[in-house]
A and B are shown apart, each in its own frame.
Chain A
Amino acid sequence: MTQPELLALLESEPEKGMRELINRYSALLYKTVYHIVGNSARAQDVEELVSDVFFGVYTSRETIDPEKGGIAAFLITLSKRRAIDFLRKNGKTENLLLPLDDEMIQKGGADTLAEVEEREQRQALLNAVIALGHPESTIIFRKFFYGETYEQIGKKLKMSKNAVNKRYLKALKKLKNEMKGEC
């Protein structure tokens, strides 16, 4: 389902649309929020923050403009703001390593050379992961990015833990070889 189709579903059948939206983005938003609040929040708090974001989308779904960047970008931005609000409200801003303002949300100005190189390295990594093909790409992504266990990944992909492990090891070897030149 494309993003315009998702927005259309949100409008025509809001509950179905929310279900689809949550299935698709809740894991990514959880990671986004957790990346900011870290150990300042319990897991239930992080889930609550993610739920707040989706609730915000649900109540303002008619105002979402698909022309102004995708709905995912909108969700990610909301998540970051929500996470920062949480830290401010709970007086835990000392845990935040990044500036507590819009600079964190949207950095202006040119990147330094180091930042450009780092971004290119990350992009090369993501391209190498995509090149692995399914299910290896999903296994690697969920293992490293989401930090899921083999068992969790297996449940998602309907594979046994052992099968996931074997695929993971083979994919990791391929990925290491691909990324050799990027170090």
Chain B
Amino acid sequence: MTEKELDSLFRQISAEEAEEISASDIDFSADEAFADRIYLSTMEKAEKKGEIQMIKRIKTKKGFAVLLAAAVLLLIFAAGTAAHTYFRYPDRQKLREEMNNFDTLHISRIAELASAGPGDIIVQNKEVKVNGYTVTFEAIVKANSFREILSDEGKTHLENEYSEGTFAVVTISRDDGGQLRPTFENPEGDEKTLHQVSGFPLIHGVVPNALLYITSAFPQYYFEDDVMYYFCNITDELCFADKGLSLAIISDAPFEPKEIALDENGVPYFTESAPALHAMFDLPIDPSYADAEQQETFIRQHDFIRWAE
């Protein structure tokens, strides 16, 4: 049965049939924000009918919560601007000079925004030239800053509205200035176009396993002006900052086990079997992000994970 057939069958399921299985461990409950809206609306109706007097209590509670949240945000902002960040930024003039090779206006804003939002945008600007391609690790960006750096076209391409998480932003272009064709136009691939690109963080010391990095069903890349913009979600792996992290970009999905190996220190590298386009970058995440509890959760959720001996 295909996914489409399953989808069609699910659409036929009535609410009564769905409700019949509510005693199972499936979580039917509503999204919290949605449930809050329905509750408030229902209780407002009840108050209007003279049933209850609780609406004032709700508004006060909600108003107080909003005020408190605003005060906390203000404090965090004040602390952030005064704090000494763990990533040292060059002065803006030097940064602009280093970023002169950016030919897309929106990405060039990374330099301006980097100094404005410590920790939200960390410029990398590391480049690898491989087999006629240039792969550039542009920056590490927090999702709430995406809309600052993306062009209007870029925003329309990202299917999901990312509201949280940390991403490594990578650009890929051809050295001969030729056109990159989206992979769906050329699913078989040839020497001049990309067959499939995937990017993923690798934890040092963990045997690379493609199951950990199955390509998301939602596109995490788009093409603009013959440049591919790739957004790799590294949120889950941040907690392994004390172990060391790398970012792998490869024109293959998923990768073959023989394509990536670990050196004697557990640092991953591409072998001779790697496809034409491949690039490995160090992910410079501050060790303060390390979290033993989150590591345990990650390992529990990915029970096939293996550490190199």
Which residues on A are within 8 Å of B, measured CB to CB? 14-15, 18-19, 22-32, 35, 47-48, 50-52, 54-55, 58-59, 70, 72-73, 76, 79, 118-119, 121-123, 125-126, 129-130, 133-135, 137-138, 141-142, 144-145, 148-152, 155-157, 159-163, 165-166, 168-169, 172, 175-176, 179-180, 182-183
What's the nearest-Cβ distance from chain A to residue B283, in Å? 15
A133 to B52: give the CA distance in the assembly, Å.
41
Decide yes or no: A156 and B27 within 8 Å by CB, A15-B52, A28-B18 being known contacts: yes
Given A18-B39, A55-B45, A130-B24, also A73-B216 (CB < 8 A): no
Residues of B within 8 A of A32 (CB): 15
Are B26 and A141 touching (Cβ within 8 A)?
Answer: yes
Question: Chain B, 48-68, contact with A by CB distance < 8 Å: what is the 0/1 string?
Answer: 010110100000000000000
In the complex, which residues of chain B have a beta carbon less than 8 angstroms from the beta carbon of A28? 15, 18-19, 28
Interface centre among B39, B163, B236 (most CB of A within 10 A): B39
B30 proximity list for chain A (CB < 8 A): 22-27, 30
Residue of B nearest to A149 (CB): B160
B residues less than 8 Å from A155 (CB atoms)? 31
CA distance A37 to B302 in the complex (A): 41
Assembly CA distance A79 to B16 (angstroms): 12
* A150 touching B35, Cβ below 8 Å: no
Shortest Cβ distance from residue B25 to the other chain A in the assembled complex, whole angstroms:
4
- B42 surroundings in chain A (CB, below 8 A): 18, 22, 51, 54-55, 58
> By the criterion CB–CB under 8 Å, are B26 and A138 in contact?
yes
**Is B190 interfacial (CB 8 A cutoff)?**
no
**Which residues of chain A have C-beta atoms less than 8 A from B162's C-beta?**
151
Cα A22 to Cα B34 in complex, Å, equals 10
B residues neighboring A (CB under 8 Å): 1-3, 5-7, 9-10, 12-13, 15-22, 24-31, 34-35, 37-39, 41-43, 45-46, 49, 51-52, 54, 160-163, 165, 211-212, 214, 216-218, 233, 235-236, 301-302
Checking B5, B25, B49, B216 against A134 with a beta-carbon cut-off of 8 angstroms, the contacting residue is B25
Q: Is there an interface contact between A165 and B13, defined as CB atoms closer than 8 Å?
A: no
Known: A26-B34, A157-B27. A51 touches B236 (CB 8 A): no
Partner of A130, one of B13, B21, B49, B212: B21
Would you give 26 A-B contacts (Cβ < 8 Å), ordered by A?
A: A22-B39, A26-B30, A35-B15, A47-B38, A51-B38, A55-B46, A72-B19, A122-B17, A125-B6, A130-B26, A134-B25, A134-B26, A134-B27, A137-B25, A138-B26, A138-B27, A141-B28, A144-B7, A151-B160, A156-B29, A160-B236, A169-B217, A172-B3, A179-B1, A179-B6, A183-B1
B37 touches A183 (CB 8 A): no
- Partner pick for A166 among B24, B34, B49, B214, CB 8 A cutoff: B214
A residues in contact with B20, CB < 8 Å: 126
Please name all residues of chain B whose beta carbon is closer than 8 Å to the beta carbon of A179 when the two chains form the complex: 1, 6
A141 contact set on B, CB distance < 8 A: 18, 26, 28
Chain A residues positioned under 8 Å from B43 (CB to CB): 15, 18
Known: A130-B25, A156-B29, A166-B211. 16 other contacts (CB 8 A): A26-B38, A28-B18, A31-B18, A32-B15, A51-B41, A55-B46, A76-B16, A125-B13, A130-B24, A138-B26, A138-B27, A141-B18, A156-B27, A166-B212, A175-B6, A182-B1
**Contact yes or no, A144 B6, CB < 8 A:** yes
Distance between Cα atoms of A138 and B160 in the complex (Å): 20
Query: Contact partner of B24 among A137, A160, A169, CB < 8 A?
Result: A137
Contact A123–B217 (Cβ < 8 Å):
no
